[in-house]
A and B are shown apart, each in its own frame.
Chain A
Amino acid sequence: MSSSISSSEDPTAVIHSSFFAQGLVLIAITIAVTLALGHATVLLHHPDPVIPSRSDLSTADHLVVAFGNSRFFANIDFDELGKQLSKPGDDVKVSDFTSGGWDSLHYYMLALLYKDVLRPGRDAVLIEVSPLSEDDNESANYLDVIRPSLAWRVAELPGIPLESRLDILLGAVADLYRFRGRIQYFKLAPRLGHVADLLGSVLQRAGLEGPPVYSPIFKEITVPGRKYVVKEIQGDADAFRNVTREYVLTTLQALRFGGFKFAALDRAVRVLRERNIAVYLVQTPTSRWLREQVNGTPGGIRFNQQVPELARQTGAVLLNDWPDTSFDQYRFSDDMHMFFGANGMDYFTSQLAQRLNGQPFTGVKAPRSAGSLPSSRRRARYTVKTGSSVSGRATTWLTGWPPVEIRGCGGPRR
């Protein structure tokens, strides 16, 4: 068969006209220049440090770090948790490394970062667990925050999709790619918003700016200065809930548990436990409706079997048996994020503090100066901050990311 499709070209033409080698060099130069430009651009912006600084460790008898997503930062007031865990002469500092949409890939990365920094017996790690965080079908949109030095470790997780693997590895070599969310959200969008304001005033003068033809039937009112924490739902709260439930049901239908995300969680817990660091797997409460929905899916059932087993095998503590009133609907803005205030975030923070108080890690006292950072970490600069300080359609228009302002529809945070 091969002979029938073999060619009869003039071989000399190949030799004389080939631009393959030069082309390849040119491609390599183009890529190198792009990567270098990206690196230089990102250096100029000085991303924030994220791993605990020396002062984090030296000023606290105990450091509790929390790895989680929006369910963590909506349900837990970390400063308050620190206060409730501290006792006179025994200070507990709580740091959260949380971001909307994060999952166990991020927790694994953070576990690798922290395992040599945290002090066994004194410090602890809280890891958010939920079937939704371990859903293999949910594409990880925030892989860009994986630290370059750990990219390979994360990318080599068994079963991780090729596209995610490539995403992580490109992020490791291309700063522009890794920080694209930050560049879009915090650098480009505000500037474009400013341009829109200027143009808006021109339109106003021309009489082309007028009232909207449609008023949203609900609106999420968030707490200023915090990550996306909802204070209240103005307008038709039922409509809001219906929209978010529709999204959740779609997610649950495709939920797949037990693959690479669980492998990441498993490894995250094990690397910390191997260093004797106390690990708490925290499954935050959800509304009863969502709990029933999740528990009814094959993924939810597997989660309920495998996560306790992981805790048992590794000596981690699973915190998921909250009082029944924790699941009351009025505590939640949708079905999984609690409202800001006494009935929601404050309530759960106290519940969590009660469970953590008296745990072994809080009972050990040691000199405050104990623990130091490896020299390579000291210079590390990195950011995990995402959030919604830039709001409005300018951001959405630029990034295509979920809109902050909802016009009667929209997907919930994860």
Chain B
Amino acid sequence: MLFTSLQWLVFLLTVFILYHVTPVRFRRWVMLGSSFVFYASWNWRYLALLVAHILVDWTCGYLLGNSNDPRRRKLILTFSIIFNLSSLAVFKYYGLIFNSVTPLGIHLPAPSLSLPLGISFFAFESLSYSIDVYRRTMEPFKSPLELALFVTWFPHLIAGPIIRPSMMRSQLKNQYDVTRERFFTGAELMLRGYAKKLLIADRLALVVNPVFANPSHFTSLELIIAVYAYAFQIYCDFSAYTDIARGASRWFNIELPENFDHPYESTSITEFWRRWHMTLSHWLRDYLYIPLGGNRKGRARTYANIMITMLLGGLWHGASWTFMVWGGLHGLCLSVERLLGVNVQGPTGKIARVGRQILTFHLVCLGWIFFRNRTFQSAGEMLRGIFAAKFWISPPELFPTLGAVVLIILYCVFSYAGRHLTLPDMEQSWPRQIAVAVGCSLVLIAFMVFGASSNVFIYFQF
């Protein structure tokens, strides 16, 4: 059930109505039931896997909550970690393991399982619950249903944002009706998400896909524009998903965290990771980097920890060595910046700041080349093409290339304006509410005309 599909619109509206006509004390059942229906609409067989994750981690949480024996607690946590990571290994990384060991003469059974949707997200969330209870930063959920609702809440189930159990816990107590402010801000977020997905990301995809499929067919300028286009496509695509998820959740009084903060305005890679996929960055920091020792165990260990965190972060995105390289590249940049003492706040001078932003953006784009290509061969082909110095556009590519440039400029203008415009409070401002309603009509029109040819959200595959 894609967010850009008709089923989703019908589903959301149905759940919204059902939730509000249901007595308050039963509303969590509606939320939980609808989340299971949502997941089952992809593949009902994998519901069992989802339920297994919830039950195992709830049991671990329960046992951890009732135990004071450090050894026993460690054992329980280890079991939870092994279970969650094994599940990821079997369903997500077995193909990579198989492909990597086969040339070495090791023969494993051929992979036959398809990737359960959203496994990277729900496995991480479920695991973070066990860790938080182990650390005693939260009390265990009394009922598995509470954990189930936290893990499966449908708007964020497939592609995040990755939330913390403590963040959700307090909100699960408030099954109030939607307020005027929540209704309109939720609609506004969804509106923004749909505009980014349907009008920007999906259009850019049509430029990006043929170029990345056959890089040798294009000039350097076309390749460079395609890489820029991909940078904006993935940002608009993923942030659109987050916006829609956040907006939809607001209609049910659930506040999901921000995931992006204008990442391409970053003046360093360190800052980029504070603005890009923030919930994953925080997760990796809190549950991987810090447990590894963070920066507390000397310089060498700090750099090693950064590299390990980023390499695994890369691998989290997909079972491919190119993702590892992408993560490694970012880890290297983070390490170099740390070594050079790069100020995360960025330089104060305007020119220096813009210069650093441009440099950072291009480093990120370099990373995207490995992220988007599934083989080193095609990534290499693309890099060779970019440096072949053919700075012209050939007639067949004229329209898509120019279209991509225009879309990127338009997006930057709107994004800049949106950021620097002081909008009146939604609840008090009728014009803003009317603007949201008109915007919704326009996005519905865009959905009517373009919706059916929409692409799957990029982060669904992770």
Q: Residues of A at under 8 Å CB distance from B?
A: 1-2, 4-9, 11, 13-14, 17-20, 22-24, 26-27, 29-31, 33-34, 37-38, 141, 144, 162-163, 166-167, 170, 174, 176-177, 180, 183-184, 188, 192-193, 196, 199-200, 203, 207-214, 392-394, 396-401, 405, 407-409
Contact A34 B393 (CB under 8 A): no
User: Smallest Cβ distance from B55 to chain A, in angstroms?
Assistant: 13
Cα distance A80–B440 in the bound complex, in angstroms: 51
Question: A23: which B residues are within 8 A, CB to CB?
Answer: 178, 183, 251
Question: A11: which B residues are within 8 A, CB to CB?
Answer: 24
Question: A19: which B residues are within 8 A, CB to CB?
Answer: 177-180, 182-183
Question: B218: which A residues are within 8 A, CB to CB?
Answer: 213-214
Can you report 17 A-B residue pairs in the complex whose CB atoms are below 8 A from each other? A2-B29, A6-B28, A7-B175, A20-B177, A37-B445, A167-B452, A184-B450, A192-B403, A210-B390, A211-B394, A213-B216, A392-B396, A393-B396, A393-B400, A396-B400, A400-B206, A409-B214
Question: B142: which A residues are within 8 A, CB to CB?
Answer: 4
Contact B180 A5 (CB under 8 A): no
Q: A166-B7, A180-B449, A213-B217 are in contact. Are A397 and B178 (CB under 8 A)?
A: no
Contact A393 B448 (CB under 8 A): no
Question: A38: which B residues are within 8 A, CB to CB?
Answer: 445, 448
- Which of A176, A397, A405 is most buried by chain B, counting CB atoms within 10 A of its CB? A397
Question: A4: which B residues are within 8 A, CB to CB?
Answer: 142-143, 145-146
Contact A5 B143 (CB under 8 A): yes
Interface size counted on chain B using CB atoms at 8 A: 68
Contact B219 A213 (CB under 8 A): yes
Question: A196: which B residues are within 8 A, CB to CB?
Answer: 398-399, 402-403
Chain B residues 410-462 with CB under 8 Å of chain A are 437, 440-441, 444-445, 448-453, 455
Q: A2-B29, A180-B448 are in contact. Are A209 and B395 (CB under 8 A)?
A: yes
A199 contact from B182, B219, B402, B437, Cβ within 8 A: B402
Contact B143 A8 (CB under 8 A): no
Return the CB mask of B19-62 against A: 1 if under 8 Å, else 0: 01000111111000000000000000000000000000000000
Contact A5 B146 (CB under 8 A): yes
Cα distance A408–B90 in the bound complex, in angstroms: 38
Question: A20: which B residues are within 8 A, CB to CB?
Answer: 20, 177-178
Question: B396: which A residues are within 8 A, CB to CB?
Answer: 212, 392-393, 405, 407
Question: B149: which A residues are within 8 A, CB to CB?
Answer: 5
Contact A180 B450 (CB under 8 A): yes
Nearest residue, chain A, Cβ from B454: A400
Contact A400 B402 (CB under 8 A): no
Q: A14-B177, A213-B218, A397-B399 are in contact. Are A7 and B441 (CB under 8 A)?
A: no
Q: Check: B173 CB closer than 8 A to any chain A CB.
A: yes
Question: A144: which B residues are within 8 A, CB to CB?
Answer: 452
Contact A209 B449 (CB under 8 A): no
A393 contact from B17, B27, B217, B397, Cβ within 8 A: B397
Contact A176 B445 (CB under 8 A): yes
Contact B20 A177 (CB under 8 A): no
A interface SS class: helix
Nearest residue, chain A, Cβ from B32: A5
Given A2-B25, A397-B207, list of 12 further CB < 8 A pairs?
Answer: A1-B145, A9-B24, A34-B448, A37-B445, A166-B6, A196-B402, A212-B217, A212-B396, A214-B217, A396-B206, A400-B205, A400-B206
Cα distance A174–B6 in the bound complex, in angstroms: 12
Q: Check: B275 CB closer than 8 A to any chain A CB.
A: no
Cα distance A43–B217 in the bound complex, in angstroms: 43
Cα distance A74–B281 in the bound complex, in angstroms: 55
Cα distance A105–B214 in the bound complex, in angstroms: 36
Contact A17 B441 (CB under 8 A): no
Contact A1 B448 (CB under 8 A): no
Chain B residues 383-411 with CB under 8 Å of chain A are 390-400, 402-403
Contact B437 A17 (CB under 8 A): no
Contact B10 A166 (CB under 8 A): yes
6 closest cross-chain pairs (CB), A and B:
A210-B392, A18-B177, A212-B394, A214-B217, A176-B448, A196-B399
Nearest residue, chain A, Cβ from B394: A212
User: Smallest Cβ distance from B106 to chain A, in angstroms?
Assistant: 29
Q: Check: B108 CB closer than 8 A to any chain A CB.
A: no
Cα distance A38–B441 in the bound complex, in angstroms: 10
Question: B214: which A residues are within 8 A, CB to CB?
Answer: 214, 407-409
Contact A37 B441 (CB under 8 A): yes
Q: Check: B376 CB closer than 8 A to any chain A CB.
A: no
